[in-house]
Amino acid sequence: MLILSFCFFLGNILSAASKDPVAVLFQASGKVEYTKDGNQWRKIRHSKFLFAGYQIRTGDNGSAKITIQESGKNLQMGPSSQFEVTTNGLQATQGKLTVQESSGKLATGLMQRFTKSQTYTTVRRSVEIKNGIDLDFARNVVLSDDYPYLAWDNPGSQYSFELKIGDQVQQVPASPDPVIMTRVSPFSGTRNVEINVLENGKVVASLQPFQSKGEEKSHTLTWLEKNQKADLQEEINTIKETYGEKSFMLGSLFEKQEMWVAAMRQYQEYLAENPDEIEMTPYLFRVYKRLKLEKKYTQELINWQKAIKE
């Protein structure tokens, strides 16, 4: 077996792209606009994450609410106002902000998860060239009746898979897609998960236990119980009512619950529909890392680095 290992870096990121959001603007009404460069102004129709260097303004009939990332403080922006977003918050150039009651514990906690994006914008890893198949998987994934999907890197279109969840065995067909996505049948509680890679019906590789504090441990799946599902739905409803039906904040909620596939799909859908939110993409990369989707992470990071510089 020939193993060739080396470390590499992928480009430098623009300084603006390495920053985390200062605040999120939501419940925009009337004319509410923002600019990244002070020249091109764009209308805000839904929620919008604000980064240092942005400017925001409202027309005669405009208003919006703003949650500060660090403190969770809520602010009301009235008509005919303009503010510059700084690393410390918002600085008025016209009008004023009214301080309102702070966000609830849920929203504050989710906002404070949007940190350390720089960690996910540089690849530094060993690449191995060898005879064999690398198969990795998240240490634990939480599933539910509404979010029953698993995902892992596809080692090749010629392979099919055998998925074992406790005593439950499920066959997963071969696919040309870079990521294998499969729906799981419901089960109770937490169970160990095994994945076998098959070629022509024979096992050619298997998911190996991971090391934690010097011990080998099995990968696990957890299915939400009825009361847990009800609590989650209540939190989902709260986020939707505050930040909108397809809010990026929902992805943060799913991350908090270790519902990594649900978080990935939420972020992917939001970013596809809101391409101007490109600065938030590193939080999708964070989920790719949790899911061990190294191929997808690396390729999308390269594409993102090119796009952020344009």
> What torsion, rounded to 10 degrees, do the Cα atoms 280, 285, 291, 293 define?
140
Please say whether the beta carbons of 61 and 30 come within 8 A: yes
Asked if 167 contacts 309 with a C-beta cutoff of 8 angstroms, the reply is no
- The 8-class DSSP code of residue 111 comes to H
Domain count, the chain: 2
Last residue of a domain, one of 186, 206, 223: 223
Task: Kindly report the CATH number assigned to the domain that includes residue 215.
Answer: 2.60.40.10
Both 159 and 106 in one domain: the answer is no
Q: If we measure between CA atoms, which residue out of 257, 261, 253 comes closest to residue 287?
A: 261
pLDDT in tens, the chain (310 residues): 333 232 333 333 333 344 899 999 999 999 999 999 888 999 998 889 999 999 999 999 999 999 999 888 889 999 999 999 999 889 999 998 898 877 788 988 999 899 988 889 876 554 444 457 889 999 999 999 999 999 999 999 999 999 999 999 999 999 999 999 999 999 999 999 999 999 999 999 999 999 998 999 999 999 999 999 999 999 999 999 999 888 999 999 999 999 999 999 999 999 999 998 999 999 999 999 999 999 999 999 999 999 988 7
Maximum separation of any 2 CA atoms in the chain, in Å: 70
Measured on CA atoms in the order 150, 289, 242, 104, is the torsion positive or negative? positive
Whether 168 is covered by a domain: the verdict is yes
Domain end call among 223, 241, 262: 223
146, part of any domain: yes
Please list, in sequence order, all residues whose beta carbon lies within 8 angstroms of the beta carbon of residue 237, skipping any fewer than 6 positions away: none
Query: In whole angstroms, what is the distance from residue 282 CA to residue 202 CA?
Result: 38
106 and 57 in one domain? yes
> Tokens 């990594």 label which residue?
260
Closest alpha carbon to 141 in 121, 123, 165, 161:
165
Question: CB–CB of 223/141 below 8 Å?
Answer: no
Same domain, yes or no: 108 and 185: no
Picking from 59, 62, 57, 51, the residue whose alpha carbon sits closest to that of residue 24 is 51
Place of tokens 């091109």: 40
Tell me: do 90 and 170 sit in the same domain.
no
Determine, yes or no, domain membership for 109: yes
Residues 102 and 183 placed together within one structural domain of the fold: no
Q: What is the pLDDT of residue 7?
A: 32
Residues 100 and 157 in one domain: no
Residue carrying the six token digits 């964070």: 286
Q: Rounded to an integer, what distance in angstroms lies between the CA atom of residue 69 and that of residue 73?
A: 8
Q: What is the pTM of this model?
A: 0.88
295 belongs to a structural domain: no
In a domain, 97, yes or no: yes
Rounded distance between C-alpha atoms, residue 274 and residue 165, angstroms = 36
Residues 34 and 98 placed together within one structural domain of the fold: yes
Is 185 a domain residue? yes
Which residues span the domain enclosing 174?
140-223
Amino acid making up residue 285 = F
